[in-house]
Structure 1
């Protein structure tokens, strides 16, 4: 009699990270993968590795209805484990872990997650383990700020939470940069969620972003990875559309170890730093979920979803050796958008625009793979192109 396959439900299926998780876990013979999102169709739902796709109420706008749907689906479909890939869904499940029954959830406890996800708590933790952060002042509400005492601009207005749970729904927040006192006063008075929610004013750190990606098992490190962003959307800085696996900076790795070990971390995490022009790192934030360029790590030889499943299911964990440095990952449609924005921007010279144009069309077939377009799994790419064309026409 054939052994029953473990049933995994990958949530947030319209995320590219969810597609990477689906493809990774779907190659494990003992697993049966289903996917779900609040949209009628989703990127990962088109994958050949997704055996079923479900549409559910929005975790952001209809959290109670989503939790009820999930509870019913877990029982009806005998789901063994959940793999959420966004902050909202993962935190909502952790806050309501009693409603998912026997299902495995590959995360640290809610309080541990929030010790890193809450940027105010993160700054205090970093200071306690000698990890440098930008100079920060913490406030409970906008009315507490005495703007006349802020002496140096630009200054960063950073909410402690990227998503605020009100008890009924989620509020989105954003990091803002105030370049003058008048701009700071406008941000503080015009932003509703700053009136009654905690935030920080931080000194602005010039430089470039750098990150360390990690997997931990009950406080013990399992794998680390690093990449370099080569092109972004928007081109001045944003979502990575072309990235390359890079050697790990030992200094950043040690800082990541200090932070994750201090909270006995479990699961995946992305630790983001800002590197000044003279090479000094400052901690920016920690993302306690899978990241957008997850597929690059898998291609380079660090299969984070598979490793996380092995840890979660208490199976033997594959040994993690050195990964391939210099492998590239390209999100083609995002790269097209980035090129378009760069060519229209006044921030780039004619020569810089020409360089972008040449770089876009020069293929690197032996070191570059497409994030969505995969020969063995083409349907997600076709679906993404159709959705892209529809968006252009609307």
Structure 2
């Protein structure tokens, strides 16, 4: 019996991992998070749940817990699903024998997760990136030489310093006043590297993939249909699409160059002329993971089987047009849209799109007839938050 620990159980991606890996033969899934109970812990595929210190709010206590409970062979595989948890564990430099995780080593992860390193890797691989200027901190920036619009992008999404995590934000700046405000409010810019990048109009696109020690295993792509907030954010309705060949080629150049291992999401910006520019790489499982699984690319199961050197599932080409809906996120998106100053016609159209049933090729991300407890758990917490 393989003992597998799924961390960050409050995430919907952790629920997808728990359901996917839990259906493999001879596995025992334990889920864990900082709350008394979390979303993935409610799944029937989670055989036990552990409340543990928060990797973001209490990183030292989290590492102490890991060293007490995970370094002596208690688990055969540990699957963190957030950037904070995975990087915190990797930076401890445990061996795979001590802490069995299906990740590249920390230095390799940071070649891609650090956006400044990523730009340099992309340039070396011949992958297009926006024109970029690098700064060690805000003191190195001459504000008089900045032209607008411009994108201010911290090198890291999450900064670990003085035993705590700091979340950073990418900003689109349209004027010198915008820049001055950001430099005043985002105090981490005074001490940590960032970039100024050319603003690329257009739309986003992504390639999802699994690598096994530098060798590509599977690719997947999706299209966002609705998001929260509506103008751009977390996907609440998406569908599978064919992987654009030029994006696959660019992703492969980049990931092969660093001898990537594990899962990754490579994000691009497509200009109105159709040119693709690399934006970032997420070195972890992504939010819409369940869509790939429903379409026929079971990334968590494939990752697990490669880790244990077992014969991987033989998968046919995945289904194009499969949809995934996060229902409560879609409710929030609709509410935000209706509160905005949109025309009555647009609001009625949006309501119609929300309520119109789709009987085929669409599934709910959390709500599953064969595994209903996570949906009930999510609904109770949603109502509790509405009540304040």
Q: C-alpha separation between the residues in 2 aligned to 1:106 and 1:132?
A: 29
Paired residues, number: 388
Select which of 348, 369, 372 maps to 1:378. Answer: 372
Q: For residues 125-182 of structure 1, give each alpha carbon's deviation from its aligned partner in whole angstroms, at most 9, with x where no partner exists.
A: 111111111111000011111111112x111110000000104111111111111011
Q: Deviations over 1:192-213 (max 9, x none)?
A: 1000100001111111110000
> Does residue 273 of structure 1 match 2:247?
no
Q: Which residue in the other structure is 1:298 paired with?
A: 293
**Superposition pairs of residues 209-288 of structure 1, within 5 angstroms:** 209-288=204-283
User: Following TM superposition, by how much is the alpha carbon of 1:30 offset from its aligned partner in structure 2, in angstroms?
Assistant: 1.1
Give 1:77 shift.
Answer: 8.1
How far did 1:101 drift? 5.5
Question: Secondary structure at 2:70's aligned position in 1?
Answer: helix
Q: In angstroms, what is the RMSD of aligned CA positions?
A: 1.3
Q: Does 1:74 align with 2:70?
A: yes
TM-score, scaled relative to structure 2: 0.98
Any idea what SS the aligned residue of 1:66 has? helix
Structure 1 residue 75: deviation in Å?
5.9
How far does residue 231 in structure 1 lie from its aligned partner after superposition?
Answer: 0.2
Find the aligned partners of 1:316 and 1:281 in 2 and give their Cα distance: 35
| Cα distance in 2, alignment partners of residues 208 and 353 from structure 1 | 23
Instruction: Determine whether 1:116 maps to 2:112.
Output: yes
Q: Is the 1:134–1:282 contact (alpha carbons within 8 Å) kept by the matching residues of 2? A: yes
- For structure 2, the residue ranges without an aligned partner over 5 or more in a row are none
Match of 2:130 in 1: 134
Alignment of 1:57-68 (within 5 A): 57-68=53-64
- TM-superposed CA distance for 1:70, in Å, is 1.9
Q: Which residue of structure 2 lines up, in the alignment, with residue 104 of structure 1?
A: 100
Distance 1:345 1:160, change over 3 A: same
- How many angstroms apart in 2 are the aligned matches of 1:123 and 1:44? 35
SS at match of 2:49: strand
- Which residue in 2 is equivalent to 1:33? 29
2:371 aligned counterpart, secondary structure: coil
Q: CA deviation at 1:89?
A: 0.2
Structure 1 residue 392 corresponds to structure 2 residue 364: no
